[in-house]
Amino acid sequence: MLDRHRRIRPRHAHALRPSHADSHPRRSPMKKFFPLLLVVIGLALCGVVVMRRGRTPAPKVGTHIDDFTLTNRMGQPFSASQLKGKVWVASFFFASCPTTCTKQNQAVAALVEEFAPRGVKFVSITCDPENDTPEALQEYASKLQAKPDEWFFLTGDMTHIRQIGADAFHLFVGPRTHSNRLMLIDKWGNLRGRFDWQDPRELESLKKKIKKLLRETSPPDNSPSS
């Protein structure tokens, strides 16, 4: 009875079926991941471009700042050489920036309050000179209660400002684009450090460095001024 109901299969039935390998060709692992690899390489290249655009090699301690001239908020020429004999802190910003620049200048204002009475000067250079006219900077400085002989707000030609950023401070500066670094310059016009104001530890290091520079009576040994 069992034999009567048993299904009879062709001797080589399995050979008549199309194999899985024949109906669905296997993809090479390289072809499978090639599109993803292209995406990863593309993102990496973009990152390199951004880093090269936003960063330049840090200058050596003691690099001398070449003199430059811009226009202050009173519409008068202002030269870096006017700060000879003073410790000073420089930064870049633009007045219409509603977030980062506002916080940055609040941090600078705190430094002004602490160190201006000890003779330290502060220089803020706009990277939006088209809009930041002397009149606009005067209004902006007034909101910060910045005294004109302590905290200098400067404007000028964008090409010149870009050059100052690159040559004097080794920073990329573009229209409405700037670094979050505060640059510290000694009494002899030497760049002595760049500090990220957003990092509390670096801000504290800046304060300690300012105090050290105030005590100095001669330029560092490796500076052109020595």
**pLDDT of res. 98:** 80
Instruction: Note the pLDDT tens digit of each residue in 17-56.
Output: 544 444 445 555 555 555 555 544 444 433 333 333 444 4
For 138-205, the DSSP string reads HHHHHHTT--TTTEEEEE--HHHHHHIIIIIT----BTTB--SEEEEE-TTSEEEEEEETTSHHHHHH
CA–CA dist 184, 25 (Å, integer): 66
Q: What is the mean pLDDT of the chain?
A: 81
pLDDT tens digits, 126-175? 999 999 999 999 999 999 999 999 999 999 999 999 999 999 998 888 88
91 beta partners: 124
- Distance between CA 45 and CA 153 in Å, rounded? 37
Smallest Cα–Cα separation from 184: which of 199, 204, 174, 169?
169
